[in-house]
Amino acid sequence: MRSIFPSKRNTPRLAAALLAGAAALGGIAWASRTPTPTAAELAQLQILAGPGRQDAALARLTNLAEGGTADARRTLGLALLSRGDHDGTGLQWLRRAAQEGDTDAAFQLGKLYSAGTAGVPADAVRAFAWFSAAGKAGHAGAAYYLGIAWRDGYGVKTDHAEAARWLRRAADAGIAAAQFLLANAYREGDGVPRDDIEAVRLYSAAAEQDHPEACQTLAMAYLNGELGLQRDEEEGRHYLMEAAHALKHPALRP
Amino acid sequence: MSSTTYSRLEVAAGCLLASLVLHGCGSSNNNSQNIPTGTKATLALLETTDLHTNVVSYDYFKLAEDKSLGFERTATLINQARQEFPNTLLLDNGDTIQGTALSDYQAIVNPVSCSQPLAMYKVMNAAGFEGGGIGNHEFNYGLPFLSQVTGNRFNVDGLADPAAQPTCKGPSFPQVLANVNSVKTSAPLFQPYTIINKTVTATGPDGKPVTGTVKVGIIGFTPPTIMSWDKRWLDGKVYTVGVKEAAEKYIPEMRAKGADLVVVISHGGLDDSVYSPTMENGSYHLSRVAGVDAMLIGHSHQIFPNATSTVAQFNLPGVDKVAGTVNGVPTVMANYWGKHLGVIKFDLTYDGKTWTIDKTKTVVQARSTQNADKSYVAVDPTVAAAIATEHQATIDYVKTPIGSTDFEMSSYFADVGDPGAIELVNQAQADYVAKYVAANLPQYATLPVLSVSAPFKSGFAGGTDYTDVQQGNLAINNAADLYLYPNTIYAVKVTGADIRNWLETAAKRFNQIDPSKATQQELVSSFPGYNFDMFTSPDIRYEIDVTKPEGSRIVNLKYKGVAIDPAKEFIVATNNYRASGGGSFPGLDGSKTIYASPDANRDVLIQYIKTAKTVSRAANGSDRSWRFTPVTTAGQVVFHSAPGKLALAQAAGLAGITQLQADDGSGKSLALYAIDLSK
């Protein structure tokens, strides 16, 4: 078995975990391990342990979670959840990480409660609480979900101005789905003053990230002369083709 | 970092390390060749990217030439570059085998046989490509197809043991991909890199021509996000590793094996946010991996270098959009569909051990097939000739009758109640979603499945801007008239209250009519026709009372004859645009989607017609779910449509419609019609 997991140094505290990982992963120079895995290293381990189904990576992640920090526990939880989490331990790890203040763990719990799964019945109020915790700590993905919660009343009474405020935070962080919904708000004057120029700017930013619906909106706007744009058949056709293309690899919701 | 920094000692050290941790070193790490030190050569890397099977300059949906795209014109740029530079190395970035009716024809409709290369690879073989990468779209048709057409024998779950697989015809050049591994073996799906022994004509220090070899290492990367985009094909079978980790692992190996140049073929754009192994566009971070001499990038459908680019990714720190460098690494992105050819010209000097780059002489360009006067370069006629059979077969396929209709399916009177161009779409969508839910979503099996669609072509651009499919045979290209937009089917779970809000929004299509007003009133507002969603099913009935203000027009909303329960749950088949928030419908924001299908509404419609074979007014064009609440108006209520179509309104069973003026004076070939709302 060969794997790609770069690390630089080693410390005694994590020696056992690292030894297990290094022995199992093989092919990695022992003398190049980091004391604490970086976010990128954890993300890579999550892939190997989750979609990669590598038990050695899962064992290493488990060791890191037991001895390490909240981000390792969150990573282990997500890896287990991506493998089905049949005994609920993935959820437990995620919950522990969130309770320890890991912002992304709180966000991920929000998503679990929002959609609902076999082990977690959908609960909009709980989802909103976790999103709020993460959003207030600056998590852009949580800001997006708070935006739609306020827009459409998930776990909270609708407030379109509040929705636009959260969508703005997520949009400014580059989340295409938020840019699209905020553009809609500017187009309609929904929670913000009507502003076609800002709407076009936001649709364009989302389209640049392969957001199919933003591409289609611009296509229709150019074909029909909407949003203050001059009718432009060529631009319209271009955006229609971009919409078709983007559908094969849409900008993903956070 | 250029290859100049790699002395023999470092290569040896790299080899020692590699022998501990990697495959070990090959025997080819000695670059000594029989050419004199000081020999100079010019080598131009040529890049195509995102060709998407646009071989000829042709639009298969319009069945018409489109000179702005097509490899037959890029080939002319390649021929010109080969005239200009003494040595060229032609490489493709990926997103090569998917994207037109030709690719669908060869993948799905009439799958290419094991003994034949895909049309796209056939012309690339003839054009002398020497290497290629793998884009995300290569995975769109699944792993068995990709394994076959690339001439591989993938060792993954779902495919026979490689020993039992045939090796099929594929590209005659190596394809490299370093960051996708098989779950079954943990080994890379493709060869991660290869080293091309490029024979070059060079000039010795004495000014005489000599022939030498430049070892060009190529390594490929695809966006890790393929795991989401093509989850249905890839989940549990392959996984991705981060592009940076893969590069840091393999590039030292390539150097150890004697690569004079390392060329990264990265199917991804530039993103300078904090590195993650799952990030979509990893090329910015790849530029910072030691030992990269050049990057051929793609995926974003953009042009780089481009001094006037306003695109965010080309205005990052470290990105020189004029010179074409990313953190100092020469980088090119050649747009898409063969519109451009990327060029990176290196001047090389042989130092007795390896070739070094004279960085002061490197030139990076993206060359367009469009000339300054807006005309396009001529085609290379050998390209179209090589795939004439496949091209004609695709055209025949697009024109092939897939069924027939016993009535003219049009949208001229969709605003006033003719479901003739919409019901078939709704039936196809509902059928598709109902089958999917029954097979895959047992938790929703008890929910009714409804469908909405809208008259996408509703006269905005004039009298020809309507759906109008003639009675008789239906062909693939008619489906584009019945379903205009590139959408995929989405199913949303909503309540009765959501449905009412949905219809209230759609009913903004109409102005508020004052029955007492004696003067003419326009029925249709500026609210776009493409947002006028409607049901066309006997199960659901409602009236639109245009005398009421927006938000209170939907009356007598019934499901199966009973007033709809606001709390009752339904599944509604629609498209990605609406489900994701397009048109700002209340409650639709992407979170109610229970099924985001990868299948296009248009393709589902085609399949439905193929199965039904005959389409009839009675079965597919007469279920009106809605009508206007009857009201007698003092003055005329008018709307606009193409002239002379009254017979179609009558055929649809619409009463009370008259044509007032054959020319409404708009200059858009529209007539003025009146509707008697009391009928």
Residues B289-318: tens digit of each pLDDT? 999 999 999 999 999 999 999 988 999 999
Long-range Cβ pairs for the range B103-109 (8 Å, 24+): B103/B52, B103/B53, B105/B390, B105/B393, B105/B394, B105/B397, B106/B390, B107/B141, B107/B145, B108/B141, B109/B397
Tell me, yes or no, if B600 comes closer than 8 A to chain A by beta carbon. yes
- Alpha-carbon distances, residue B598 vs B104, B415, B491, B569 (angstroms): 14, 30, 12, 24
Contacts of B587 in chain A (CB under 8 A): 152
Best probe of the B interface among A213, A232, A253, by most B CBs < 10 A, is A213
- Give the residue-averaged pLDDT of B447-452: 98
Tell me the pairing of strands B449-451 and B472-475. unpaired
Q: Is-contact B557 B564, C-beta < 8 A?
A: yes
The DSSP 8-state label assigned to residue B458 in this structure reads B
Q: Residue B46 gets which letter from DSSP?
A: E
Structural domains in chain B (count): 2
Backbone dihedral angles phi then psi of residue A209, each to the nearest 5 degrees = -95, 20
CB contact under 8 A, A47 and B17: no
Determine contact: B245 vs chain A, CB below 8 A: yes
First to last CA, chain B: 79
Instruction: Give per-residue burial for B175-193: e unless 16+ CB within 10 Å, then b.
Output: bbbbbbbbbbebebbbebb
Spell out which residues of chain B touch residue A205, defining contact as CB-CB under 8 Å: 312
- Mark which of B332, B361, B395 sits at the end of a domain: B395
Q: Assign residue B206 a region: left if phi > 0, alpha if psi is -120 to 50, beta otherwise?
A: alpha
Q: Which of B183, B235, B242, B191 is nearest to B217 (CA)?
A: B191
Which residue of A42, A216, A239 is the best one to mutate when testing the B interface, meaning the one whose CB has the most B CBs within 10 A?
A216
Computed over every residue of chain B, the mean pLDDT equals: 94
Q: In the numeric block, which tokens belong to residue B31?
A: 């670059």
**Whole-number pLDDT of residue A84:** 87
Instruction: Check residues A48 and A29 and name the one with the higher pLDDT.
Output: A48
Subunit contact B589:A224, Cβ cutoff 8 A: no
pLDDT at A11 over 70: no
- Check whether B377 has a pLDDT greater than 80: yes
Q: Are residues B361 and B410 in the same domain?
A: no
In chain B, the residue whose alpha carbon lies closest to the alpha carbon of A249 is B229
Classify domain A174-254 at the CATH topology level.
Answer: 1.25.40
Q: In CATH, what number is assigned to the domain containing residue B150?
A: 3.60.21.10
Contacting A residues, span 84-123, partner chain B, CB-CB under 8 Å? 114
Q: Which range of residues forms the domain containing residue B158?
A: 3-395
Shortest distance between the Cα of A185 and any Cα of chain B, in A, equals 8
Q: Is B98 on the interface with A (CB under 8 A)?
A: yes
Domain residue ranges in chain A? 1-100, 174-254
pLDDT-derived band at B477 (thresholds 50, 70, 90) equals: confident
The mean pLDDT value for B361-388 works out to 98
Q: Report the candidate in B123, B43, B121 with the shortest Cα–Cα distance to residue B357.
A: B43
The partner residue sitting opposite A29, judged by closest CB among B21, B229, B276, is: B21
**Cα–Cα distance for residue pair B592/B581, rounded to 1 Å:** 10
> What does the DSSP assignment read for B152-200?
----STTS--GGGS------SS-BB-SSEEETTTSSBSSBSEEEEEEEE
pLDDT over 50 (residue B13): no
Q: How many CA atoms lie within 13 A of A132 on its CB side?
A: 12
Instruction: Give the C-alpha separation, A40 to A35, whole Å.
Output: 14
Distance from C-alpha of B332 to C-alpha of B342, rounded to nearest angstrom = 6
pLDDT at position B386 is 98
Q: ipTM, 2 decimals? A: 0.86
What is the reported pLDDT for A17?
Answer: 36
Q: Does the structure show a pLDDT above 70 at B2? A: no
Please judge whether A51 and B227 are an interchain contact, meaning their C-beta atoms are less than 8 angstroms apart: yes
Interface of A with B in 27-46 (CB under 8 A): 27-29, 39-40, 43-44
Domain match, B565 and B582 both? yes
In whole angstroms, give the CA distance from residue B266 to residue B295: 7
Helix (H) or strand (E) holding B518: none
Q: Is A187 on the interface with B (CB under 8 A)?
A: yes
pLDDT tens sequence across B491-539:
999 999 999 999 999 999 999 999 999 999 999 999 999 999 999 999 9
Residues of chain B positioned with their CB less than 8 A from the CB of A54: 186
Are B537 and B426 spatial neighbours (Cβ–Cβ below 8 Å)? yes
- Residues of chain B in contact with residue A151, where contact means CB-CB under 8 angstroms, are 589
Of A208, A217, A224, the CB nearest to B311: A208
Per-residue pLDDT at B407? 98
**pLDDT band at A101, cuts 50/70/90?**
very high
Residues 6+ apart with CB under 8 A from B140: A248, B98, B230
**Residue B648: is it exposed, middle or buried by C-beta count within 10 angstroms (0-12/13-18/19+)?**
buried
CA pair distance B668, B458, nearest whole angstrom: 13
Q: What is the pLDDT of residue B62?
A: 82
* B353, B360 contact by CB (below 8 A): no
pLDDT band at A4 (very low <50, low <70, confident <90, very high): very low
- Residues B487, B381, single domain; the answer is no
CA distance B485 to chain A (A): 7
Choose, out of A25, A245, A253, the residue to mutate when testing the contact with B (most B CBs < 10 Å). A245
Partner A contacted by B142 (CB < 8 A): no
Checking if the pLDDT of A35 tops 70, the result is no
pLDDT at A21 over 80: no
Query: What's the gap in Å between the CA of A107 and the closest CA on chain B?
Result: 15
Q: How far is A130 from chain B (nearest CA, A)?
A: 17
Pair B299, B318 in one domain: yes
- The arithmetic mean of pLDDT across residues B589-603, rounded, is 94
* A-proximal residues of B, 456-475, CB under 8 Å: 460-461
* CATH code, domain with B412: 3.90.780.10
Per-residue pLDDT band at A116 (split at 50, 70, 90): confident
Same domain, B384 and B427: no
Q: Give the nearest chain B residue to A210 (CA atoms).
A: B300
Residues B462 and B475 in one domain: yes
End-of-domain residue from the set B341, B373, B395: B395
Ranking A20-34, A110-124, B491-505, B522-536 by mean pLDDT, the lowest is: A20-34
User: What proportions of chain B, in percent to the nearest 5, are helix, strand and coil?
Assistant: 25, 25, 45
Q: Is A208 on the interface with B (CB under 8 A)?
A: yes
Does residue B345 sit in the same domain as residue B415?
no
Mean pLDDT value across residues A5-32? 34
Last residue of a domain, one of B395, B418, B433: B395
- Cα(A63)–Cα(A79) distance, rounded to whole angstroms? 14
